[in-house]
Amino acid sequence: MLTQREILSTLEMLKNENLDVRTVTLGINLLDCASHDPEILKSKIHGRISHFARNLVSVCDQIGQKYGIPVVNKRIAVSPIAVVGASMSSSQLVEVAHVLDGVAAEVDVDFIGGFTALVEKGIARGDRALIEAIPHALASTERVCASVNVASTKAGINMDAILLMGKAIKKAADLTAKTDGIACAKLCVFANIPQDIPFMAGAYLGIGEADAVINVGVSGPGVVKKAIDRALESDSELDLGQISELIKKTAYKVTRVGELIGQEVANHLNIQFGVVDLSLAPTPNVGDSVGEIFQSLGLLSIGVPGTTAALALINDAVKKGGAFASSRVGGLSGAFIPVSEDLNISEAARSGHIGLEKLEAITAVCSVGLDMIALPGDTTEDTLAAIIADEMAIGVINNKTTATRLIPVPGKNAGDNAYFGGLLGQSTIIPVNNGRNLNPFVRHGGLIPAPIQSLTN
Amino acid sequence: MNKVILSILGHDRPGIVAAVSKVLFEQNCNIENVSQTTLQSEFAGIFIVSMPGSLSAQSLHQSLNAQMATLGLEVHVRSLKPPPATEFIPECESYIITTKGPDRKGLVAGISDVIARFQGNITNLQAVFKGGAEPGDNIMIYEVDLPSQTDQQALYRKLKSRAKELKLEIDIQHRNIFEAINRI
Confidence of residue B89 (pLDDT cuts 50, 70, 90): confident
Confidence of residue A413 (pLDDT cuts 50, 70, 90): very high
A185 Cβ partners below 8 Å, 6+ apart? A201, A340, A372, A405, A407, A420, A424
Residue A373 scores a pLDDT above 90: yes
User: Could you give the C-alpha distances from B87 to B4, B81, B82, B83, B84, in angstroms and in order?
Assistant: 20, 13, 11, 7, 6
Residue A320 scores a pLDDT above 70: yes
Q: Which chain A residues contact residue B139 at CB under 8 A?
A: 4, 8
For residue B115, the surrounding DSSP H or E stretch is helix B107-117
Q: Could you tell me the pTM of the whole model?
A: 0.90
Residue A1 scores a pLDDT above 90: no
Identify which of B8, B25, B125, B150 has the alpha carbon closest to the alpha carbon of residue B72: B8
Distance CA A401, CA A146 (A): 17
Whether residue A2 and residue B96 make contact (CB cut-off 8 A), yes or no, is: yes
Residue ranges of chain B whose CB lies within 8 Å of a chain A CB: 96, 98, 124, 126, 128, 139, 141, 143, 152, 156, 171-183
CB A254 within 8 A of CB A14: no
For residue A325, the surrounding DSSP H or E stretch is helix A307-325
> How many CA within 13 A on the CB side of residue B33?
8
Instruction: Give the chain A residue whose CA is nearest to the CA of B136.
Output: A8
Whether residue A13 and residue B126 make contact (CB cut-off 8 A), yes or no, is: no
Distance CA B180, CA A255 (A): 9
CB A258 within 8 A of CB A215: no
Query: What is the CA angle B147-A12-A331, rounded to 5?
Result: 85
Distance CA B129, CA B143 (A): 17
Q: Which chain A residues contact residue B173 at CB under 8 A?
A: 66-69
Distance CA B156, CA A338 (A): 38
pLDDT computed for residue B4 by the predictor:
93
Distance from CA of A54 to the nearest CA of B (A): 21
Q: Using DSSP bridges, classify how beta strands B73-79 and B2-11 pair: parallel, antiparallel or unpaired.
A: antiparallel
Distance CA A184, CA A379 (A): 14
Instruction: Give the chain A residue whose CA is nearest to the CA of B169.
Output: A15
Q: Which chain B residues contact residue A6 at CB under 8 A?
A: 178, 181-183
Q: Which chain A residues contact residue B183 at CB under 8 A?
A: 6
Interface check A327 vs B, CB under 8 A? no
Interval A254-299: pLDDT, tens: 999 999 999 999 999 999 999 999 989 898 888 889 999 999 999 9
CB A80 within 8 A of CB A42: no
CB B129 within 8 A of CB B138: yes
Indicate left, alpha or beta for A430 from its phi (over 0: left) and psi (-120 to 50: alpha): beta
The number of beta carbons lying within 10 Å of the beta carbon of residue B5 is 16
Buried b vs exposed e over A106-129: b needs ≥16 C-beta within 10 Å?
Answer: ebebbbbbbbbbbbbbebeebbbb
pLDDT computed for residue B128 by the predictor:
77
Confidence of residue B132 (pLDDT cuts 50, 70, 90): low
How far is C-alpha A79 from the geometric centre of its chain's CA atoms?
A: 17
* Facing residue for B176 by CB, picked from A1, A13, A260: A260
Span B120-125, average pLDDT = 92
CB contact residues (below 8 A), chain A span 148-177, against chain B: none
CB B109 within 8 A of CB B56: no
Instruction: Give the chain B residue whose CA is nearest to the CA of A10.
Output: B178
pLDDT computed for residue A268 by the predictor:
95
A-B contacts (CB, under 8 Å):
57
Span B106-116, average pLDDT = 92
Distance CA A186, CA A143 (A): 8
Chain B interface, best mutation among A1, A3, A7, by max B CB count within 10 A: A7
Distance from CA of B138 to the nearest CA of A (A): 12
DSSP A12-66: HHHHHS---EEEEEEEE--GGG--SSHHHHHHHHHHHHHHHHTTHHHHHHHHHHH
* Facing residue for B143 by CB, picked from A2, A65, A260: A2
Interval B145-154: pLDDT, tens: 999 888 888 9
Q: How many residues does chain B have?
A: 184
Residue B54 scores a pLDDT above 70: yes
Burial class (CB in 10 A: 0-12, 13-18, 19+), A259: buried
Burial class (CB in 10 A: 0-12, 13-18, 19+), A36: exposed
* Facing residue for A10 by CB, picked from B128, B139, B182: B182
Give me the interface pTM, i.e. the ipTM: 0.83
CB A223 within 8 A of CB A321: no
* Facing residue for B96 by CB, picked from A7, A65, A256: A7
Whether residue A257 and residue B174 make contact (CB cut-off 8 A), yes or no, is: no
Distance from first CA to last CA of chain A, Å, rounded?
53
DSSP A229-276: HHHHHH-TT--HHHHHHHHHHHHHHHHHHHHHHHHHHHHHHT-EEEEE
Q: Which chain B residues contact residue A13 at CB under 8 A?
A: 181
Residue A194 scores a pLDDT above 80: yes
Interval A389-406: pLDDT, tens: 999 999 999 999 999 999
Q: Which chain B residues contact residue A259 at CB under 8 A?
A: 180
Distance CA A199, CA A134 (A): 19
Confidence of residue A65 (pLDDT cuts 50, 70, 90): very high
Percentage helix, strand, coil, to 5, in chain B?
35, 40, 30
Q: Using DSSP bridges, classify how beta strands A187-191 and A402-409 pair: parallel, antiparallel or unpaired.
A: antiparallel
pLDDT computed for residue B71 by the predictor:
87
Q: Tell me the percentage of chain A whose pLDDT exceeds 90.
A: 86
Confidence of residue B96 (pLDDT cuts 50, 70, 90): very high
Q: What are phi and psi of A144, to 5 degrees?
A: -80, 135
Which of A5-19, A167-181, B38-52, B114-128 has the largest mean confidence? A167-181
Span A111-139, average pLDDT = 97
For residue A388, the surrounding DSSP H or E stretch is helix A381-397
CB A98 within 8 A of CB A112: no
Q: Tell me the percentage of chain A whose pLDDT exceeds 70.
A: 100
* Facing residue for A68 by CB, picked from B171, B180, B182: B171
